[in-house]
Structure 1
Amino acid sequence: MRTVRPKKNLGQHFLTDLNIAKAIADTVDACPGIPILEVGPGMGVLTQYLMPKGRDLKVVEIDSESVAYLNEKYPSLRQSIVGEDFLRMDLNLLFGGNQFVLTGNYPYDISSQIFFKMLDNKELIPCCTGMIQREVALRMASAPGTKAYGILSVLIQAWYDVEYLFTVDENVFNPPPKVKSAVICMKRNKTVDLGCDWTLFRRVVKTVFNQRRKMLRVSLRQILPNVQEHAVFYGNEIMTSRPEQLSIPQFVELTNMVKEEIGDEIENR
C-alpha cells in the first residue's frame, strides 16, 4: 500500500513512533463512554489505537490523498471518514448533537483556530486532547504572572482545566518539525455562567494582550477612546496593571466594568 506524502501546505508532520501514538490515543480515556472525533488522522497512526476503544469514532481529514489511504487501510471505518475541513463543519451534525471527545495530532498552523472552534462548541466538547506545538501548549496551560500567559490561556482556562502531559521530540515525525511538540488534555471545568458577556470578554482579552506591555488604561483606549474621562476606570487600581497580571475572575470584573461604561454601544462596533 502506497503511503501518503506529507504536504507542507497542510502542515502535515506524520508521527512515526507507535508508543507515543498509543499514549496520545489513550488520553481520550479521560472522558470515557462518549464518542471520539479525531482531526487530521493522516495515515491513521492514532486512529489504529482509537478504534479498539469500542466507542463511536469519526475522523475528519481535509487531504484527499489521506482520505483514500484511510478508506483502503481501514475499510471498517469507511462510513466514519469525513473528507471535509474541520474548521468549516457544523459539529452538531457529527454525532446527532451528542457530546464527544476531540483529539488528534493537530496541524501547527491551525491549532489555535481549532481551539477557538472548540470554545464556540464547548457544550458539545467536554474533553479535548491531542498533540500540538509545545509553545502553544505552554501558553494554554500557563498561569497568570508568567511570560507565556496570554489570549489562549485566558479564553481556554475560562471554561477548561488544562493539563500539560508530556513533551515529544522532533525526531519522531516525518518530516521532523523545527520545534518540539507536546500532548495536552483539557476537561470542562465547573463554570456554567462566566459572569459577564462572553463576546465582550473575548474582545477585552484580545485587545489588552495585543498590547501586553502596556497598562490596561492605555490598551483599552481601543474600546474606550476617552478612557481618562471614565472616572471608574481612571481611578481604579486594576487599570495600572498589565494583562498578564490578571486572573480570569479579574478579567470578568474588567469586562463588566467596560460593559457598564459603554452599555449597548459594544453591539454597534
Structure 2
Amino acid sequence: MPDDSILNLNYDSPQEIKELLDIMGLGPRKRWGQNFLINSGARKRIVDLLEMKEGDTVWEVGPGLGSITKIILDRGAKLKVFEIDPGYIDYLTKAFESYPKFSIVPGDVIKTWKGHRRKPPKRFVGNLPYNISSAIVSSFIENDFIPEKMVFTVQREMGQRMTAKPNNKNYSSFSVLCQFACDVKEVGVLKPGSFYPVPGVSSAIISMVPHQRYRELEDKETFFKVTRQLFSSRRKTLKNNINLSPYLKEFNKDDVFKAFEIVGIDVTRRAETVSVDEYVELAKEISKLKDK
C-alpha cells in the first residue's frame, strides 16, 4: 500500500498515475479494459450529468483509482463502488476510508450486483470496459433494475450501437434492448488523449433515463428472447431467422407467421428495419401463443 502522500493523486497526470501503479506493483489490466480518465473537465461533466442530490445513492462500476469516485463523495452522495481488481480494491479502501458514505463491493459486477439489489440506486455511473459494457447494461434491463439515471463512458462504437435507429448499420438487438427501457443519448465524445493509457479509439459519454413507455408489456422474457433471435443473422430475412429460432420453434409455425401478420411486419424484411414499437407489439402476440 502506498504512503499517505501518494493518496493525494493528481488524476490528470499520467506520470503520477504510472508512478503510483509502479509502487503498487500494478498496471492497467488489458483484460479488464482499464484506461484512466485523465480529463478533469470530462470527469466533472459526467458527474454533473448525473444530476444527483446530496444523500442520493449512487453505484459506480470500475472506479479504478477513484477519480470520479472522489467527486461524487465530495458532493455528499452515498456511494457503492464495484471493483474486480484486488490491487485497486486495496488502494480505494485506503484512499476513501475517511468517507463514511463510501463502500466497496469486490468481484465481477455481473456476478455481485444482484446481492445488493434491494432497490435500484438513484444513479449509476462508470467508465465501462468495452468487453463488459453491454453485459452490464443488459443485466440491469433484463432484471428490471434500472436507476433513475445512468451515465457512463463506453467506446464510441458501443455508444453508436446503443443509440442507433432502424435502418442504421449499428442498429442491433442491443439497440432495441437499451431503447426499450430508456431514452438513450450520446451527450459527449472523448478523444483518446482523455485517457491513460491512450486507447486506439474515441469514447462516448452515454446518458440513459428510463421512460416507462412499454410498462404494459407483461411478458418481457418473450420480448428479450424474440428480439435477440431475430437478429441472430443480420443478412437473413425475418422469415429465415424465425425458422432458425430455438424459441419460436416451440410454437406452431403458422401461428408465429400469423402473429407477424397481425402486427403488420412483413417477414421478408430484415431485423434491423423493425422498430422498438414493432418488436414490443410482436412480443405481445407471440406471448399469446403460450396459452394455445
Same fold? TM cut 0.5: yes
Following the alignment from structure 2 to structure 1, what is the Cα–Cα distance between the partners of residues 40 and 248? 53
Change (3 A) 1:11 1:123: closer
Change (3 A) 1:56 1:220: same
The C-alpha deviation readout for 1:34-84, integer Å capped at 9, x for no partner, is 311110100111112111221211111111111111122222247512222
77-86 vs 244-253, which moves further: 77-86
In structure 2, what is the equivalent of residue 82 of structure 1?
105
- 8 Å contact kept, 1:228–1:234: no
Say which SS state the counterpart of residue 164 (structure 1) adopts.
strand
- 8 Å contact kept, 1:162–1:186: yes
Structure 1 gaps of 5+ residues are none
In structure 2, what is the equivalent of residue 20 of structure 1?
42
Following the alignment from structure 1 to structure 2, what is the Cα–Cα distance between the partners of residues 116 and 127? 15
Equivalent residues, number:
262
Matched AA of 1:144 = P
In structure 2, what is the equivalent of residue 171 of structure 1?
193
In the alignment, which of 258, 269, 287 is matched to residue 232 of structure 1? 258
How far is the alpha carbon of 1:233 from its aligned partner? 5.6
How far is the alpha carbon of 1:219 from its aligned partner? 0.7
Matched AA of 1:10 = W
In structure 2, what is the equivalent of residue 49 of structure 1?
71
In structure 2, what is the equivalent of residue 7 of structure 1?
29
Following the alignment from structure 2 to structure 1, what is the Cα–Cα distance between the partners of residues 204 and 260? 41
In structure 1, what is the equivalent of residue 138 of structure 2?
116
1:58-69 equivalent positions in 2, closer than 5 A: 58-69=80-91
Following the alignment from structure 1 to structure 2, what is the Cα–Cα distance between the partners of residues 113 and 178? 22
- 8 Å contact kept, 1:140–1:162: yes
The C-alpha deviation readout for 1:220-268, integer Å capped at 9, x for no partner, is 112445746866268665222211111112112222333344x259xxx
Change (3 A) 1:63 1:237: closer
The C-alpha deviation readout for 1:110-157, integer Å capped at 9, x for no partner, is 001110122134345222111011111111111122111111111111
Identical-residue share of aligned pairs (%): 30
Matched AA of 1:202 = F
Say which SS state the counterpart of residue 221 (structure 2) adopts.
helix
CA RMSD in angstroms comes to 2.4
- 8 Å contact kept, 1:99–1:123: no
In the alignment, which of 168, 175, 196 is matched to residue 153 of structure 1? 175
In the alignment, which of 98, 123, 140 is matched to residue 162 of structure 2? 140
TM-score (normalised: structure 1)? 0.87
Say which SS state the counterpart of residue 6 (structure 1) adopts.
coil
The C-alpha deviation readout for 1:12-39, integer Å capped at 9, x for no partner, is 111112221221222211x546311110
82-91 vs 112-121, which moves further: 82-91
| 1:258 and 2:281 matched | no
- 8 Å contact kept, 2:256–2:286: no
- 8 Å contact kept, 2:149–2:209: yes
Structure 2 gaps of 5+ residues are 1-5, 7-19
In structure 1, what is the equivalent of residue 126 of structure 2?
104
226-235 vs 248-257, which moves further: 226-235
TM-score (normalised: structure 2)? 0.81
